[in-house]
Chain A
Amino acid sequence: MKMNVILSSIRNCAKNLLLVSGLLFAPLALAAGSAEKGKTAFVKHGCWQCHGFVGQGGVTGPKLAPNPIPPEAFSAFVRFSAGGMPPYLKAILSDDDLADIHAYLQSQPKAPDYKSIPLLNP
């Protein structure tokens, strides 16, 4: 069996277990991160490519900020994604960088109400 199949199987199992029970794994806690470092990590690891420089999202990736999902869910998704987004394992994205990225997303200001923007109410 090829290595990527094994990895895929491991990821699938992990994801399914997380989604189904939510209890079998200990929560993937993230240490408090640095928003400033997270801004750099967000670009360095290519998150901006689909989600935009401030995590606003688009047709290629969902909105991440403001109000990102909780750290545990964020970490689980990034590590075990089996959807359109490729998973980021620890070897390529450290827990520290992941925590910083979450902190960066959390630091994003609330978006203005679209009703207050004339161009969005022609």
Chain B
Amino acid sequence: MSRKDPGPKADRRRFLTGVVAAGAATAMAPVRSADVVAQAPRAPSALPPSGKAAEAETGTPRELARVKGIPGSDFMVDVIKTLDIKYLPANCASSYRAIHESLINYGGNKMPEFLTCMHEESAVGMAHGYFKVAGKPLMTLCHGTVGLQHATMGIYNAWCDRVPVIVVGGNDMDAATRPPGVPTFHSAQDINALVRDFTKWDDTPVSLQHFSQSFVRAYKIAMTPPYGPVMISLDAGLQQEPMKNHGGEKPYIPRYVPTAPPQGDSGAVKEAARLLAAAQNPVIVADRAARTANGMKLLVQLAETLQARVIDQGGRMNFPRTHYLSAPPTAVGNADVIIGLELSDFWATVNSYTDNGMNEGIGTNSTRIKRDTKLISISSVELNTKANYQDFQRFQVIDVQMAGDAEATLPALVEAVKAAIPNDRKAAIEKRGEAARKAYAEGMARTREAAAVAWNASPISTARMCMEVYAAVKDLDWSLVASEGNVSNWPNRLWPLEKYHHWLGRSGGYGVGYGAPASVGAALANRDLGRFSVSIQSDGDLMYAPGVLWTAAKHKIPLLSVMHNNRGYHQEVMHVQRLSNFRNRVANLGGDMGPVGTSIQNPDVEYHKLAESMGWWAKGPIKDPAQLGAALREAVKVVQSGQPALLNVWTQPR
């Protein structure tokens, strides 16, 4: 695709020619093609330079051809600054060099501040984690081809987790004039095609006016529930060319006005309220229901109005774990009405799948609920379903289904439920609450009893590790920014998660490598709010892109990272073991603990040394549970001083 107006007076092509020529002049004199043909074999570099080369190395380069007027990328920075984007985590790349230069020089490297990242996936992951604390999106820049290819897994996680990230990919589109070689390898017709299946919207602006509209539109779409990542392809030429008037006027910057989130249909809300009010045992299931702290309050109101138990699936912090109505997933079994709020998988909420090799290897399905249980759903994702990637999960028949945002619909639903409860039901509903209190207390006792088993084991049990971590941070305004690698859900089961920032959910798409960058991004947001960030960091996750540790140290982002170092990809270990058993073959361990290809041992990774090498305070490996508490207290002090700290803890598998 070519731009309509290449801007020939002081165009970037001449500018590029000047750069190439000047660059060469600093090293050696420009060479004509005829010279290349006639060139003698190159002399060894140890020989003294020729007179010509010496002159080129010491002489003053000639004046560069300058771009006249305001660079287009300066205007782009003006646009970006209207949207209050605080940080820009990115890995540098020549295809966006013009806007990079404008951001740090013209824009003063503030709003947004450039954060040096070592992998594009890390940059997107940081933006992902940041949003979950700050509620504001970040943007990232990348090479539109190779950089975007690195970024894709992070973008897919953000898509599945309904998190807005503004991804801008540099791309030199004019094939006739772009530099040959590497820049052309790094160009494509349509870079956005790579992520179109898992972004909400994308565009390729061809003028600065187009850019300002695209960027504000992208922000607006990303920030309208269901949230999601957006993509803009940014032509290198458009960045570098001077700003031109459009119809005699300078390009304008559209004002950003947030779009109100979609609400469930009023008739459907009334019908849902009627079913819930009449239910003997209603159950609420929430996954990404609470977009804000207010969402939690609304969910508590609904639950208490109905005295209905709440299963928090943990996509977000939806419901306080200390509330007596908090319930385990099995609570759906006795329900006669279930309302699902922003569930990523309604089918698996009410059904189970067992990977037992039966039915010619495809496993068995069974229901978790009673035959006549009525199902209600409120989900904004119904408005944004795409075809290719299967994040919409299996199809589930729902009795009352609302395409709308749960948090935005809850005020109307709470009022409708209050109005629908007849006076003669109120005593029965109160009694339901008493039963829930008893079930909650008994459940907590069973959970603590289970946590006590293997309390003194080495490697350290995940329950012990989690409770040692909680003891070290409980008196602070803490935020568990990530819990990756399956620690048997102990934080969710035992920590008093009560505030919205106590739990940030998971990756969304289960793409491994989310935990480390999302923790750093969330810790950045918490730093600005004066909160203490702690993450439970799995080994396999960290090894995808450990360079984010350096980014945290470089930008002074305090974070306590406690390694759940179980020395394996335990999500995968059992898959291979299971298939070995189904085929009646002994699993080949290859000298490790898990089947070949699933262990991270021999050699063991020394994560504390890895972190130290990148500027972190670190300690480990800690294998004795008796030593963990003191090490944690030491690490907490380090983090409170403003540094990141990592403890390498050897743990049980789950």
Contact = CB atoms under 8 A, between A and B. Distances in A.
Interface in B564-583: 570, 573-574, 577-578, 580-583
Interface residues of B, number: 54
A16 interface: no
A46 B358 CA distance: 21
Contacts of B445: 114
Contact of A8 (B358, B459, B581, B593): B358
A58 B573 contact: no
A60 B355 CA distance: 13
B360 A5 contact: yes
B654 A58 contact: yes
A52 interface: yes
A40 B477 CA distance: 44
Interface stretch (A19-27, A31-39, A82-90): A82-90
Question: Interface size class for chain A?
Answer: 35 or more
B593 A48 contact: yes
A61 B364 CA distance: 18
B593 A84 contact: no
Contacts of A54: 453-454, 457
Most chain A beta-carbon neighbours within 10 Å: one of B467, B570, B574:
B574
A53 B567 CA distance: 13
B455 A84 contact: no
Q: Secondary structure at chain B's binding surface: helix, strand, loop or mixed?
A: loop
A55 to B, nearest CB: 8
Given A49-B574, A50-B654, A63 B470 contact: no
Contact of B489 (A4, A53, A59, A81): A59
Contacts of A2: 360
Contacts of A63: 450, 453
Contact of B357 (A8, A60, A66): A8
Contacts of B653: 48-50, 52-53, 58
B652 interface: yes
Top 3 A-B residue pairs of the complex, sorted by shortest distance between their CB atoms = A86-B581, A56-B454, A58-B488
Interface of B: 354-361, 364, 445, 448-457, 459, 461-462, 464, 467-468, 470-471, 474, 486, 488-489, 494, 496, 570, 573-574, 577-578, 580-587, 589, 593-595, 652-654
Interface of A: 2, 4-5, 7-8, 12, 43-44, 46, 48-50, 52-54, 56-61, 63, 65-66, 81-84, 86-89, 91-92, 111-114, 117, 119-122
